[in-house]
Chain A
Amino acid sequence: MTKNIVLAQGNGGEENAELISKIFYKHFKNEILEKSEDAAIIDGGRLAFTTDSFTVSPIFFDGGDIGKLSICGTCNDLVMMGAKPTYMTCAVIVEEGFPVSDLEKIVRSMKKELDINGAMIVCGDTKVVPRGAVDKIFINTTGVGVVQKSGISSNCVSTSDTILISNQIGKHGATIFANREGMEFSSALQSDCTSLWPLVEKLLSEGVAITAMRDATRGGVAAVLNEWAKQSKVCIEVNEETLPVSDEVRGICEILGFEAYNLANEGTFVLAVKSEDAQKAVEILQGFEEGHHAAIIAEVTHQYDGRVVLLSPWGSKRFMDLPTGELLPRIC
């Protein structure tokens, strides 16, 4: 590991995992933490608990803003453990000189998402720091939710599960990168930033046997599948052709040399459901606008335990690994 922190350690990929394990987990060691789920299950399984900090730049992007993200991100983590978001905190660190009107816009976005989740902010904190000490505004939100269905865990994925994706992948990552680089589009590219509670609520109420769920944030679909493969000690074989990618995201990936499955999503989640419920789950998801492109993407085997394999449409295969390094576009 490097002596000083490098940007890559925040990427949600290999270096990030190394930092977390060698510094944080090493000292904070405990059973709950080591489960490494999207949210911690506490209080004897009754509650889900999670936190996240939001430093996205630019703070206003196509399809959302840092406020919307700060609620969706944390609520989705609770939802992914089968919990209904209930209480949240909001801690803001804002830079001197930041326009108050922008702050209000952000807070209004947050309220909109809170309503969709049926949650409320019950405490918070505000800090103002000198110009330059943060990049405009950083937000941290913590959430507590009541578990509706227990046992949802990335440690339980098995060969009796089928893997699905709820939406087209890579939209958030592609949008942020493109917005940051000042790219112009004639297309409809925008972040998929969305609250997932309504979709999961429906899946649960229809009795779909869900083994695991995770929203594919930093590190993208590749990160989730690799975590599941490792934690559940299985092999996940992905049919490359079935991964839903929009033309717009494809365009960004072609130009910048990225893989869509390495790009972050903020409103798209991966599910492992019992195979007999797979088709039913796809149909339920497709009933939502945000689930319109839901699809079955992989099966679980024991070909190469702990790894994710990508099967090409012409019969070759390779591993789909965790991304490494900063996401630098390939350049000559």
Chain B
Amino acid sequence: MCLSIPSKVVKIDTEYNIATVDTMGVQRTASLELMEEGSVVIGDYVLLHIGFIMNKIDEEDAMESLRVYQEILEALDEEERRALVLEDDNCPNREAV
């Protein structure tokens, strides 16, 4: 169900209201019937479902999400690094220098 995938718009045919989209090198056509006229342009990232473009992917939101994930990753890495150092400092087997 809902097998919809992100694709990039590479061509628009206004006569038949169809866009050509590229999904990892595979090109297919999709209907623009569900989108407001003129709202989809070449270069847009869109969501494709059973031959129709369902919606445009909000690039800013996508990038914001990816940025947040990166921050989470870094914050956790930093915490772990600190914990390791602490563990090392408190290690009873460590000889006094």
Contacts and interface: CB of A to CB of B under 8 A. Distances in A.
Interface of A: 178, 183-189, 247-248, 250-252, 254-255, 257, 329-332
B23 A255 contact: yes
Contact of B50 (A185, A189, A331): A331
B22 A186 contact: yes
A257 B5 CA distance: 10
A185 B25 CA distance: 6
A206 B69 CA distance: 48
B31 to A, nearest CB: 16
A255 B50 contact: no
Contacts of B26: 178, 183-187, 189, 248, 251-252, 255
B25 A184 contact: no
A254 B48 CA distance: 11
A254 B2 CA distance: 12
A332 B27 contact: no
Contact of A254 (B5, B10, B50): B5
Interface in B16-54: 22-28, 49-50
Given A183-B27, A189-B25, A255-B26, 5 more contacts: A247-B24, A248-B24, A250-B24, A251-B24, A332-B50
B1 interface: yes
A187 B25 CA distance: 5
A255 B5 contact: yes
Nearest to B20: A184
> 6 closest pairs, A vs B, by CB?
A187-B25, A251-B24, A332-B1, A184-B27, A251-B26, A330-B3
A329 B22 CA distance: 18
Contacts of A178: 26
B3 A332 contact: yes
A196 B24 CA distance: 29
B25 A248 contact: yes
Contact of B24 (A184, A187, A329): A187
Given A331-B50, A332-B49, A332-B50, A186 B25 contact: yes
A187 B22 CA distance: 10
Contacts of A252: 26
Among B25, B26, B49: residue with most chain A CB under 10 A: B26
Given A331-B50, A332-B49, A332-B50, A185 B27 contact: yes
Nearest to B27: A184
Contacts of A188: 25
Contacts of A332: 1-3, 49-50
B5 A186 contact: no
A103 to B, nearest CB: 31
Contacts of B10: 186
A251 B22 CA distance: 9
Among B1, B27, B50: residue with most chain A CB under 10 A: B27
Nearest to B1: A332
B25 A330 contact: no
Nearest to B25: A187
A190 to B, nearest CB: 12
B42 to A, nearest CB: 14
A149 B1 CA distance: 49
B23 A251 contact: yes
Given A331-B50, A332-B49, A251 B2 contact: no
